Structure 1
Amino acid sequence: MPDLPELAAAFTAALHDAGIAVGPDRTRSFARALTLLAPSTTRELRHCALATLVSDPEQIELFDGVFREVFGGAADRGAQRGQPGDPPRSLPNTVPGRVPGTRTDTAGGRGRDADAQPRTAPVPLAASPLDRLAGRDFADLSAEELARLSEVMRTLVLRTPTRPSRRRRTAHHGARIDLRRTLSAGRRTGGYPLRLRRFAPRARPRDLIVLCDISGSMEPYARALLQLLYCAARATHAEVFTFATRLTRLTPVLRRGGPDDALARAGRAAPDWSGGTRIADCLAEFNERFGRRGMAHGAVVALVSDGWDTGPPADLATHMARLSRVAYRVVWVNPRTASPRYRPLVAGMAAALPYCDAVVSAHNLAALDDFAAALYARRCHR
């Protein structure tokens, strides 16, 4: 008789092979549900698995097919309903009242198979709101879902690679000798430095710069991406800009007050909201006013745009090349790339691609993991 971990691992592995994304967290939740609820029928077992392993209603049919193969046709929902007087069907190869591998208390004769009573507990039939929200496109979210998304995004941490700073730290295998500490320690041994003291530069996170397109073509994603800008502005060494027909620095606005007030002020501070798009002109302004002053030197720069530009593509390529020469890493965030039919046919996007280290979609909550990973990755050699 298989034990509980083997049951959970085998079933979740079968789901994963069938195309349902089942990670270690959901496997652990499934095993915990089996331990707490101790389902005695295949219907109860299906409810446990459905509540912990499935996050999209479209996956239920595929889930039932895998469940039917593993547990011998017990996943037929029509047959599970039965008649009011019908006895419930037991799990295959199990004793009623027990899940394979669960322990029973034999002290004092309690917990025997004949006396075991199945536990009853309400089983949720749908995934949590957060799981359902993870796969939804930002452009399709309602106002209530956007409010829930804001709460989740406040816990998002955007990290960048480290860079050596001018500050030093003691290191046993440092590349340079700390002459002052070496001579100071030598006074304890008659003036002879018996041990060389070394130091290495301290590491600090690289600056993060986010330039977000708020033109009309990006309006379906603007509400969610503005919350992403708030998260970026709260990060250490971060600068946030928006652009459509002009460049607007929003860092001071987003760093003051609570998230709701900050987002409202940010919307009022950008006068070109849902306007036209002049990516090349705004990027040229950023390079001239901020990039040359050192803001972009060695920084990770994220450009959030679909690539629609009213200017000549050659101008955008020129300013992107200039930016890539001073920035440590350039990440382009284009929600349109989430579609499998997407092709970089827009002239602006095609002109910018050769100067990007990574292109990600960030079109939903699950895709933000790729965005965070792209920011934290090391520079690739072009």
Structure 2
Amino acid sequence: MLAELSARLCAALRAEGLPVGADRAARFARSVVAVSPRTADELYWCALATLTADPSDVELLDRVFDRVFGELGVELPSRAASATRTGTDAAPDSSAARTAQQASPPGEREGHREAGRRGDGDGREVRTPTLGAAVERLASRDFAELDPDELASLVEAMRRFRIATPLRRSRRHRAAAAGRQFDMRETLRRARRTGAEPVLLRRRKQRLKPRRLVVLCDISGSMQAHARAMLQLLVSAAGGAEAEVFTFATRLTRLTHVLAADPVTALREAGQAAPDWSGGTRIGESLREFLESHGARGMARSAVVVVISDGWEAGDAALLGEQMARLARLAYRVVWVNPRTAKPGYRPLAGGMAAAWPHCATVVSAHRLDAIGELVEAIAADRK
């Protein structure tokens, strides 16, 4: 019945001059399936969102909608009726309230619509995508307080983040009408069409590409929970899987190939690939190994380097300061993630964090889900 009435509405709108083609009708049908409207008002909002393209179309839609549904006094099937036919449980809505709303006259429905357009509190609520109640509760909790199942439940929320680094000029070029350089090869190639006369000079400019993202993650005992959360973020967030990822505690381990899988598999394989998980911390020696094996050879050059660690150095803090100075000279920006900086009054007065702090462009906490935004912004920021 609902499909027949929806088709009748589209046909009536076309007859009145509204350009409801196959594309709009298909969008309307998809919205009806997704929303499963229980009342004429809910169906109206589906029609308003998919069948109109200009504010001037709204008046025509109102008139035709009221003629097709309001004047005929048609009641839409409720979820409870649909559930009875399909054998599922009915929604816990009041049937009396649904009947009263469905039987409301066109004038009353029009008042609800106008209130909704004005944004009045008495109008129909417009649903917007939000985090679920459980995720909202976990979003304000420190990652160290979450068990593995609670952390895994944040995967979908982490997928909403997009990790993007600043752009840089590459060595490759592309054609551009306003380019600063002349493309002589393309100019001469085009001249073959005009008797070898270069009638039009072709121009080009350098392509832009994202800077490389390199992540060095501390997986020592004091950082175990936050390390898992940060690795899960890299696997889940858009663009995070493109990063070069290393873990360190007492030794350096490259995990880039491991983190290409889904979050659960990636974390399990990361634990197997890094034998020093939950071990001690030798940040300075790990940074020196990274720079000598990968960073100085090109991986860290002009890259955004993110170091995830609480700064508890079991080795020589002076060595850490020296290696951080080398890294800062090579990298575009160095972002340090230290969950302990979220504590009020935190100051890096001693140890590894004191040695590393002067060489960091930004220090963020990213200790819980609702604090990850500052890390994403720090990665995307340009160097000042």
Distance 1:289 1:109 in 2: 70
Structure 1's 366 and 188: CA in aligned 2 closer, same or farther, altered over 3 A?
Answer: same
Distance 1:334 1:349 in 2: 9
CA contact (8 A) 1:307 1:346 kept: no
Shift of 1:270: 1.2
Using the TM superposition, give the Cα deviation of residue 187 of structure 1 relative to its aligned residue in structure 2, in angstroms: 4.3
1:190 Cα deviation after fit:
4.8
Closer/same/farther in 2, CA of residues 235 and 190 from structure 1, 3 Å limit: same
Note if 1:326 corresponds to 2:330: yes
- Farther-moved stretch of structure 1 (128-137 vs 181-190): 181-190
Question: Are the aligned partners of 1:138 and 1:364 in contact in 2 as well (CA < 8 Å)?
Answer: yes
Which amino acid is the alignment partner of residue 180 of structure 2?
Answer: A
Q: Which residue of 2 aligns with 1:179?
A: 184
Matching residue of 1:129 = 134
CA distance in 2, matches of 1:108, 1:262: 52
- Contact in 1 for aligned 2:305/2:334 (Cα 8 Å): yes
Q: How many pairs align?
A: 272
Percent sequence identity is 55
Task: State the alpha-carbon separation in 1 of the partners of residues 107 and 235 from structure 2.
Answer: 57
Counterpart code for 2:141: R
**What is the RMSD computed on CA atoms of the aligned residues?**
3.3
Aligned pairs for 1:126-205 (under 5 A) are: 128-205=133-210
Return the letter of the residue paired with 2:294: F
Pairs within 5 Å for 1:336-375: 336-375=340-379
Structure 1 residues 222, 291: CA separation in 2 closer, same or farther (over 3 Å shift)?
Answer: closer
Which of residues 219, 226, 231 in structure 2 aligns to 1:226? 231
Conserved? CA contact 1:232–1:238, under 8 Å: no
Counting helix residues as a fraction of each chain, which structure ranks higher?
2
Measured against aligned partners, the alpha-carbon deviations of 1:46-90 in whole angstroms (never above 9, x if no partner) come to xxxxxxxxxxxxxxxxxxxxxxxxxxxxxxxxxxxxxxxxxxxxx
Q: CA deviation at 1:222?
A: 3.2
1:315 aligns with 2:319: yes
Deviation of the 1:107 alpha carbon: 7.6
1:270 corresponds in structure 2 to 274
Where does structure 1 lack aligned partners over 5 or more consecutive residues?
A: 1-34, 37-96, 98-103, 112-117
Deviation at 1:357, TM superposition (A): 1.0
Structure 2 Cα separation of the partners of residues 259 and 108 of structure 1: 47
Q: Determine the C-alpha separation between the residues in 2 that align with 1:316 and 1:225.
A: 22
Q: What is the deviation of 1:356? A: 0.8
User: Secondary structure, in 3 states, of the residue corresponding to 1:136?
Assistant: coil
> 1-side partners of 2:215 and 2:123: how far apart?
53
Distance in 1 separating the partners of 2:207 and 2:148? 45
AA matched with 1:251: T
> 2:253, 2:368 → 1: CA distance?
25
TM-superposed deviation, 1:142 = 3.3
Distance 1:108 1:182 in 2: 65
| Contact 1:170–1:199 (Cα < 8 Å) also in 2 | yes
CA distance in structure 2 between the aligned counterparts of 1:344 and 1:278, rounded to whole angstroms: 18
SS of corresponding position for 2:356: helix
Q: Does the 8 Å CA contact 1:157/1:231 hold for their aligned counterparts? A: no
Unaligned runs of 5+ in 2: 1-40, 43-99, 113-121, 126-130
**Taking structure 1 as the reference length, what is the TM-score of the superposition?**
0.64
